[in-house]
Structure formats: structure tokens, C-alpha cells
Structure 1
């Protein structure tokens, strides 16, 4: 195939769907993956009609340890290799660490940490060989600020994605492969509906703190093209990230202890 292929995980809605449309608008064929096959099919049809690109639907649950390898084998069977990878699939587990079972946490870590790492590991050799590649790891502003009570592993996993992206960025400076971590704050998507925190978050976070999924994805695409290792979209989010860097740890943790529960549905 003459066109490059972008693999987008968590593509059925929100930031993932927005990334799919952006890459298609730049001439990429798409491999769309998520658990909801019907929604993927509708999105694939929409994008195919709008941009005239090939769209491959690969339903998968990244909680399955074999899913990353099976997804890529499916693409290989169709004669395709991945030129751009958007690791977007994700969700949040609310409540304190001990309020959820270990199985819940284990599944979360597999989807949010192991799967994106494995996908990057598996597609990177081909990108290096072809001297072209784009990897966007959708992290979060939560990975740039101190941990807070509730959603215990979310910020930790996002911090991991940021650090891993920085390292991969440096390792591939001369390879033609660009690696970026996208760190959005509050984004209009289904994220807060899935974990049933929409009402609380909407009351706690003022409108100026929110961005649309299209804005976030566009910023991520531009950062990857420019090979910027970290992208924090939106002026308020940039200010929060900068402030978190400057605050002494003791002050920052005290702030998170007092304010974190507001955004976790605890007050």
C-alpha cells in the first residue's frame, strides 16, 4: 500500500475517534481498535466516506494479555504495518486503593500500562527499519502533578507513560521515529461517564478548565509531527503543570490532600 497506516486504540469515542479523523485527514489509512465493534464500524464508515482511506476495524480488549500481538498479526495478515501508533485506550478506577479488588487493579494496569508498552515495543522495530514512525502515548496532566487520594494508580500510570515517552523520544532522535506524550487535563469525552463521575467533575471543574477532544487530538498530532516529547494542551493546563514543578513537595502534597477529593466525588 502507498498510504501509511495509523493504529488508534480506544478509537470508538472521544480523543481516540478525534485522532482517527485527524490522521485520516492527513492521508493515513486507519486500524481502529476498541471493545465496541458496532461503534468502530460506524466510525470506520464515516471516515472512509469523508476521506477515502482504508479503515480496518480490529475489535479487541486490551485486558486480554494476547490482544496486542493478535491485533498486529491481524494487520500483518492484511499486508499492513503500523506507521503511527496512538496509545489512547484508557479509563479510571475511582475510590481508594483498597476499595477495589486486586483483579480490578491488575486489569487496569494491563490496559493502561502493559498494553501500550507492548504495542510500542512491537511496532518500533518496523518504524526504525523504514526510517519513519509516530508514537503518541495519551498520558494526562495527572502524570505531571503530585498524586492525590482516590484513583490511586491513574496518575502513577500516566507518569510512567510520560517518562517512557521521553526515553523513547531520546533513543530515536536519529531514527525518523517521533515519540510524544500527550498530557490533557479535563476533556469533553465519555471518560467521566464511564466511571460515573460526570456530575461531580462538572460541578468541581469550571468551564475554562475543559477542552474538546478535537482540540486535544489536534495538539497531540502537531506535537508528534514536531517531535516534541511532551505536549500539554491548553493554557490553564500548562500553568498547572508549571506550578506543580515549582511547588515544594510538601506544599504540593498538602494541596492535593485538600483539593483532590473535590475532583474524586468525595466531598
Structure 2
């Protein structure tokens, strides 16, 4: 194949679907994966007709340990390699750590931490060999500010993605592989609908804090092309991230203790 291939996880909606459209608009073929096969097929048809690119769909649940390898095996069977990887799949797990089930937390970690790590590790050697690659790890503003009560591991996992992306960026300075952690704040998508926090979050946040998924993905694409290790979309989010760095840790934690319950169902 002459065209490069972008693999997007969590591609059926929101930021993932937006990334798929952006990569297709830049001439990439696509491999789209998510749990909902019907949504993937509709998106594949739309993108294929609009941009004339090949779109492969792979229904997979990244909570299953064998899913990352199975996805890449499927692509290999079609004679394709991954030139751009967008690790976007994710969700929130409401509740405090003690009241949630361990099995749910383990599944959360497989989707949010283990799967993106494995996918990146599996595709990176080929990228280095071909002297071209793009890896976008969709992290969050939550990974740049102190943790808060509820959704206990969400911020921790996103902080991991930020640090891992920074290290991968440094390790691949001379390889032609660009790595970026994209750290959006509140984004219009299905994220809060899926975890049941839509009404609470909507009531607690002003409209100017929100961004559209298309805008976030466009910023992420530009950032990885420019090889920026961390990208925070939107002026308000940049200000929040900068403020969190400047104030003492105990002040920041106290602020999260006061503000956090407005945003998280605990």
C-alpha cells in the first residue's frame, strides 16, 4: 500500500472519531477499533466515501488482555503496518476506590494503561525501522493537576500517559517518530454520558471550559506533527495546568478537596 495507516482506538465516537476523520483528510488509511461494531461500520462508510481511503474496522474490547495483539494480528493479516497510533480508548469509573469492585478497577487499568502501553511497544520498533511514526496518547488535564476524591485511578493513569509520552519523545528524537500526550479538559463527547455524570458535570462547569471533539483532535494532530511532547488544548486549560504547577502542593490538594466533589460522583 502506498498510503500510510493510522490506528485509532476508541474510534466509534468523540475524540477518537474526530481523529479518524482528520487522519483520513490527510490521506491516511485507517484501522478503527472500539467495542461497538455497528458504530465503527457507519463511521468507516462515511469516511471511506468522503476521503476515498481504505478503512478497516476491528471490534475489540481492550479490557480483554489479548485484544492489543489480536488487533495488530488482524492488520498484519491484511498486509498493513501502523504508521500512526492514537491511543484514545478510555472511560471513567465513578465512585471511591473502596466502594468499587477490584475487577472493575483491573479492567479499567487494562483499557487505560496496559493496552496503550502494549500497542505502543508493539508498533514502535517498526516505526523506528521505517524512520517514520506518530503516537498520540490521549491523556487529560486530570493528569496535570492533583488527584481528587472519586474516579480514583483516572488522574493517576493520565499522569502515567503524560510521563511515558515525554520519555518516548526523548528516546525517539532522532528516529523520525513523534510522540505527544494530548491533555484535553472538558470535551463534548459521550464520556460523561457513559459514566453517568453528565447532569452533574454540566451543572458544575461554565460553557467556556468546554471544547468540541473536532477542535481537540485537530490540536492533537498539529501537536504530534510538530513533535511536541505535551499538548494542552485551549487557553483555560493551559491556565489551569500552569496554575497547578505554580502553587504549593498542599494548597493544590486543598483546592481539589474543596472543588472536586462538584465534578465527580463519589
CA apart distance, 1:243? 0.0
Contact 1:137/1:180, CA 8 A, preserved across alignment: yes
Q: Distance in 2 between matches of 1:96 and 1:72?
A: 35
Contact 2:150/2:265, CA 8 A, preserved across alignment: no
SS in structure 2 of the partner of residue 104 of structure 1:
helix
Residue 180 of structure 2 is aligned to residue 180 of structure 1: yes
SS in structure 2 of the partner of residue 166 of structure 1:
helix
Number of the residue aligned with 1:238: 238
RMSD between aligned residues? 0.5
CA apart distance, 1:204? 0.3
Q: Distance in 2 between matches of 1:196 and 1:92?
A: 9
Contact 2:33/2:59, CA 8 A, preserved across alignment: yes
Residue 65 of structure 2 is aligned to residue 65 of structure 1: yes
Superposed structure 1 runs of 4+ greater than 2 Å apart: none
Contact 2:19/2:218, CA 8 A, preserved across alignment: yes
Contact 1:201/1:265, CA 8 A, preserved across alignment: no
What is the total number of aligned residue pairs between the two structures? 266
Number of the residue aligned with 2:36: 36
Number of the residue aligned with 2:24: 24
Number of the residue aligned with 1:221: 221
Residue 235 of structure 2 is aligned to residue 259 of structure 1: no
Number of the residue aligned with 2:249: 249
Task: Give the unaligned 5+ runs of structure 2.
Answer: none
Number of the residue aligned with 2:80: 80
CA apart distance, 1:265? 3.3
Q: Distance in 2 between matches of 1:233 and 1:256?
A: 21
1:102-141 equivalence runs, <5 A: 102-141=102-141
TM-score by length of 1: 0.99
Task: Give the unaligned 5+ runs of structure 1.
Answer: none
Number of the residue aligned with 1:198: 198
**Which digits, 9 at most, give the CA deviation of each residue in 1:241-267, with x for residues without a partner?**
00000010010000000000000135x
**Which digits, 9 at most, give the CA deviation of each residue in 1:171-219, with x for residues without a partner?**
0000000000000000000000000000000000100000000000000
Q: Distance in 2 between matches of 1:22 and 1:88?
A: 14
CA apart distance, 1:95? 1.1
**Which digits, 9 at most, give the CA deviation of each residue in 1:92-147, with x for residues without a partner?**
00111011110000000000000000000000000000000000000000000000
